[in-house]
Structure 1
Amino acid sequence: MNTDTAARVESVVKLVAETCVENETYFCDLDAVAGDGDFGYSLARGFEIVLESWDGFDRSDLGKFLGAVALTMSSRIGGSSGPIWGTAFIRASAVARGKQELTGEDVVKMLQAAIEGIKFRGGADVGDKTLLDALVPMTESVAAGMKAGDAPEEIVGRAATVAREAAEATSALVARRGRASYTGERSIGSPDPGAIAIALLTERIADTW
């Protein structure tokens, strides 16, 4: 697997992993407001293993590469984050199975598949104060940009703006899933750490596109 698309996919996944490791404390601090404070720790430990295993992943096609990343994450990330993030990567890898190149339509389908996987695994939906509150509008923004024929850098830049605005807006929501849901209305006033993570990751991708 040696194509421009493959290189782009690898760079994005590696950037996601490195960003989650670098922001371990930040994500933990966000989670400690209404949750149990281990969100950043769980992501960092899982993505550290991904980075350590990087050279050994199957790269015969994009689906196998993403599937290998998914299995590593789901088996190494603790708490609820492992199944959620692992499922997202597994569902996305299914769309990319057997492919050496990805079209814009493929990317949208991968994001949509990840969303459906997260909904199924976690039982959450938009409005429940989870990462879906940033991931769904971000994906809708990407799909709209693809349909309009916008330039890739414009699509990614706009997606980052949408994700950030949506993530910050979760401060007004009551958590209905995860440990934060136990606090009820006390969860109002602080953003969801998963949604903030999606926003930060999208911004980093846009910055390096």
Structure 2
Amino acid sequence: MTFDQEAVLRAFARAAEDGHAELTALDQRSGDGDFGDNLRGGLRDAVGRFESNGGTAFGALGSVFLDDVGGTSGPLLGLLFTEIARALDGDDDPVSAFGAGARSGLEAIQRVGEAQVGDRTLVDALTPAVEAMPGGFAAAARAAADGARHTAELRARMGRASYVGDRAVGEPDPGAVGIALLFAAAAGVAEPDAEVPAVL
């Protein structure tokens, strides 16, 4: 299996562009409405940095989101992308490398943010994706999508959404949707013939 990091970055960026309005609307119900802007802007900048500086696509993602993207999710996503970049650099098997990086990223996110499954955060999509990753990218993408959809049933216990009570219930958490878009992009590149459910 080949794994084209640049193609994944560009697919992820297109998904953020296409889903910007819906991601913004979701975050307006549960947060301050900036997630769509932050994700789209960060991905645009990462594409630009990769084109200008070279290196690896996930390295560009990690540095942009850690250094330049605001909001609660920017640095957390930066940790994830950085760990994936590190793992992909040291392993020839993209499934095991991406899975190991995603697991390390999840652990880093939980150390910093302390969120657990059920708290209605990106962890609700990332955890099942990591657990399903040994089965391949499409299996992880399906698990992430299922996890993101399930957040619609949850009352937030962490982050800004925890202050709005039940107002966000009924719609998925935007951060979890962002994770599902990442895994869908990776699956579309690595396993183009596999079925991956739409998240937005």
CA drift at 1:34: 1.9
Matched, 1:88 2:84: no
In structure 2, the residue matched to 1:142 is: 133
Q: CA contact under 8 A between 2:153 and 2:170: conserved in structure 1?
A: yes
Q: Distance in 1 between matches of 2:149 and 2:179?
A: 11
Provide runs of 4+ in structure 1 moved above 4 Å.
Answer: none
Contact 1:49 1:72 in 2 (8 A): yes
**C-alpha contact (below 8 Å) 1:127/1:133 kept by paired residues:** yes
In the other structure, the counterpart of 2:47 is 51
**How far 1:182 sits from its partner (Å)?**
0.5
Residue 175 of structure 2 aligns with which residue?
A: 194
* Cα contact 1:160–1:202 (8 A) shared by 2: yes
Equivalent residue for 1:109? 100
Compute the RMSD of aligned alpha carbons.
2.1
TM-score (norm 1): 0.80
Aligned residue number for residue 132 of structure 1: 123
Unaligned residue ranges in structure 2 (runs of 5+) = 193-200
Task: State the AA in 1 paired with 2:149.
Answer: E
Whichever residue aligns with residue 183 of structure 1, its letter is: V
Q: Which amino acid aligns with 1:53?
A: R
CA distance in 1, matches of 2:185, 2:62: 21
Give yes or no for contact 2:84–2:97 (8 Å, CA) kept in 1: no
C-alpha separation between the residues in 2 aligned to 1:104 and 1:203?
14
User: Counterparts of 2:155 and 2:121 in 1: how far apart (Å)?
Assistant: 10
Distance (whole Å) between structure 1 residues aligned to residue 93 and residue 144 of structure 2: 23
User: What is the CA-CA distance between 1:123 and the residue it aligns to?
Assistant: 2.1
Alignment coverage as a number of residue pairs: 189
The letter for the 2-side match of 1:194 is G
Deviation of residue 88 (structure 1)?
1.0
Alpha-carbon displacement from aligned partner over 1:6-43 (angstroms, at most 9, x marks no partner): xx122112222232233221110111112111110111
Give runs of aligned pairs for residues 164-203 of structure 1, distance below 5 A: 164-203=145-184
Larger Rg: 1
Structure 1 regions of 5+ residues with no counterpart?
146-154
**1:51-70 to 2 correspondence within 5 Å?**
51-59=47-55, 66-70=58-62
- What is the TM-score when the length of structure 2 is the normalising length? 0.83
Identity percentage of aligned residues: 33
* Counterpart residue number, 2:187: 206
User: Which residue among 159, 165, 185 is the counterpart of 2:140?
Assistant: 159
CA distance in 2 between partners of 1:120 and 1:88 (Å): 12
- Whether the aligned pair in 1 keeps the contact of 2:24 and 2:37 (CA below 8 Å) is yes
Q: Which moved more, 1:186-195 or 1:125-134?
A: 186-195
Distance in 2 (alpha carbons) for counterparts of 1:19 and 1:170? 20
SS at match of 1:124: coil
